[in-house]
Structure 1
Amino acid sequence: MPQKSNPTYFIILAFTLFSMNAFSQTKINHFAVYAKDLKESSQFYEEVVGLTPIDEPFKDGLHAWYAIGYGLSMHLIEREKPWKEPVIDKTNHLCFSVENLEEFIEKLARYNIPFEDAVDNKGKINIRPDGIRQIYIQDPNGYWIEINDEY
């Protein structure tokens, strides 16, 4: 190993640090949703959205975890403290893709859940410039969810 005062040492150190940074990437692991009522929110995400529950390590009745594809997960978390009303805006939303948007809209009708487009037109489907169709719904906590057909 070269001495620390040797220029070769700094070249090796710089290359090593660059290599570590160039080949490692920060990636998403999960996202969490604050739930007022875990049971109601779990029912919504399982029955309406169609997510599959996965094992969660807490086993405290305040957490529910769901597979969302590609090894990623969504965590529902109910706090023991009193509910704090979150600031909610459609711009901040989750997005799930479905294979058949029409079937999903039919499911929403069965659950009596309204949907709208990106600019608040009730019952309308938004079409993005790339042709992807999308709608927006709200979960039991008021969070906005985009559902699109970019499956």
Structure 2
Amino acid sequence: MAKALGVNHIALIVSDLEKACEFYEKELGLEPIPAFLFDYPTAFFKFNETQQLHLTEWDDVFSFRGHICIQVDDINAIFFRMKELGVIDTSPWGKVRQLPDGPIQMFVRDPSGNLLELSCAPGSYIDPAIFEDEYFQAGIYVSGRNDFRGYKSKEATLYHN
């Protein structure tokens, strides 16, 4: 049986390619890389040596809760910058939280409305001011659905070494 090896790229649909490129390059520090010569607006960005983000402009409908999670190197700077930009979105998954294994998770909207989860590695320094901020709430997100199906564990993590 064949096995998936990892994520090569994530493709997000954007409504304004130029605004989206500016956000991902300037606010999240992604490096633009050459894209193929498609006949539609598109831009490729490099996360690391094996993972990319592809942006393409279409008139599609966006998901409310669907998201990608991006690990950042300085969750403190990102938190305060995203708050300043007014792009933190608490409506789909609640407020900014600290996960049981230590990382902060927050959800923001890019200029096209795509939902991004921004997170830091376990053990990262967290500015105590974040825990006092109006956007922070202790504990994991609770939906109130009381449907506990799925693969769950008290030792769960977003980060596997």
Query: TM-score surpassing 0.5?
Result: yes
The CA distance in 2 between the partners of 1:65 and 1:117, in whole Å, is 29
SS at match of 2:24: helix
Unaligned runs of 5+ in 1: 1-20
8 Å contact kept, 1:117–1:126: no
For residue 85 of structure 1, the aligned residue among 19, 38, 61 is 61
Residue 149 of structure 1 aligns with which residue?
Answer: 120
SS at match of 1:140: coil
- State the shift of 1:141 in Å: 1.7
1:52-102 Cα deviation digits (max 9, x unpaired): 1111122656010001124111100113xxx1323x122x21111112211
Indicate whether 1:113 and 2:84 are aligned. no
SS at match of 2:37: coil
Indicate whether 1:55 and 2:34 are aligned. yes
> Which structure's residues are more often helix, by fraction?
1
| Cα separation, partners in 2 of 1:129 and 1:101, compared to 1, 3 Å | same
After TM superposition, the structure 1 = structure 2 runs for residues 2-151 of structure 1, keeping only pairs within 5 Å, are 21=1, 25-27=3-5, 28-58=7-37, 62-79=41-58, 83-86=59-62, 88-90=63-65, 92-116=66-90, 119-121=93-95, 125-150=96-121
The CA distance in 1 between the partners of 2:94 and 2:52, in whole Å, is 29
Could you tell me which amino acid in structure 1 is paired with residue 61 of structure 2?
A: E
The CA distance in 1 between the partners of 2:30 and 2:38, in whole Å, is 19
The CA distance in 2 between the partners of 1:135 and 1:118, in whole Å, is 11
Larger gyration radius, structure 1 or structure 2: 1
SS at match of 1:69: coil
8 Å contact kept, 1:30–1:75: yes
Q: TM-score, with normalisation over the residues of structure 1?
A: 0.69
- State the shift of 1:116 in Å: 3.9
Q: TM-score, with normalisation over the residues of structure 2?
A: 0.65
8 Å contact kept, 2:71–2:118: yes
| Cα separation, partners in 2 of 1:55 and 1:133, compared to 1, 3 Å | same
Q: RMSD of the alignment, in Å?
A: 2.3
Residue 151 of structure 2 aligns with which residue?
Answer: none
8 Å contact kept, 2:14–2:114: no
Q: How many residues align?
A: 121
